[in-house]
Amino acid sequence: MAQIAVIGLSSFGYYLAKRLSELGSEVVAIDTNKERIEHIKNFVAKAVSADATDRRVLERLELEEMDIVVISLGDKLESSILTAFYLKQIGVKKIVAKALSEDHARILELVGVDQVVFPERDSGYNLALTLHRPEIIEHIPLGENLSLLEISPFKEMIGKSLKELDFRSRYKCQIVAVRPDKESKELILPEPNLVISANNILIVMGKDKELEDLQRKKR
């Protein structure tokens, strides 16, 4: 079971802490706002009203024992940077922080943050992509120039087996799993004899350029 602390319980931090708990992580939620602590306390292992910009507070909470600490301090740039700096000093294993701008992200990286996230930017990007291209169900960046894409099958794919499609050679991407339909959570391994139906959702991994080429071919 992962032990994760979430500092800052605005919308992003609140839903992150709640979902992590639902997934089985042991979550410590931290915020200076006592009302937010009241809202989250029944969903997490521990909820603490504390000022994370005070190094002594971080040491008392023993956050260096956590597997991951997430900083989600809304628009408080100075507070998020100071908190990240102190977390690094006390020896936290992995620090993830929400950034509001590229400059903010660069500073967070300079003080030692391991992973910087842009929730608003990423959700806006994904929504734009799915609105512009309805066949795209979801786009998940995996790292530099590599992503997962959930798409509905092209017309020419329907009724053919994966072996017949020769997907990797034709599209330079790899089908890593198939969902029976849009509502299903079940994942089917992409066996060569699997026949694609119109309701299937293909989970495709590839370089961003190849995925863009794949999307253009469906137009």
Q: Count of residues for the chain?
A: 219
Instruction: Please state, in angstroms and rounded to a whole number, the distance separating the CA atoms of residues 175 and 78.
Output: 43
Instruction: Please state, in angstroms and rounded to a whole number, the distance separating the CA atoms of residues 143 and 50.
Output: 34
Q: What is the mean pLDDT of residues 171-182?
A: 88
Task: Report the CATH number that the domain containing residue 137 is assigned in CATH.
Answer: 3.30.70.1450
Question: Which residues form the domain of 100?
Answer: 3-117
Cα distances (Å, whole numbers) of residue 127 to 10, 123, 138, 144, 184? 21, 6, 9, 20, 21
- Mean model confidence pLDDT for the chain: 87
Q: Are 99 and 118 in contact (CB under 8 A)?
A: yes
Residue 47: pLDDT band with limits 50, 70, 90: very high
Q: Return the ∠ at Cα 102 (arms to 96 and 107), rounded to 5°.
A: 60
Q: Identify whether residues 9 and 113 lie together within a single domain.
A: yes
Give the closest residue to 79 by CA, choosing from 166, 129, 10. 10
Both structure tokens of 68: 């991951």
Which of the listed residues 99, 117, 135 is the one where a domain comes to its end?
117
Q: Are 28 and 5 in contact (CB under 8 A)?
A: yes
What is the model's pTM? 0.65
Q: Identify whether residues 138 and 89 lie together within a single domain.
A: no
Residue 197: pLDDT band with limits 50, 70, 90: very high
Q: What is the mean pLDDT of residues 48-66?
A: 93
More confident residue, 22 or 216: 22
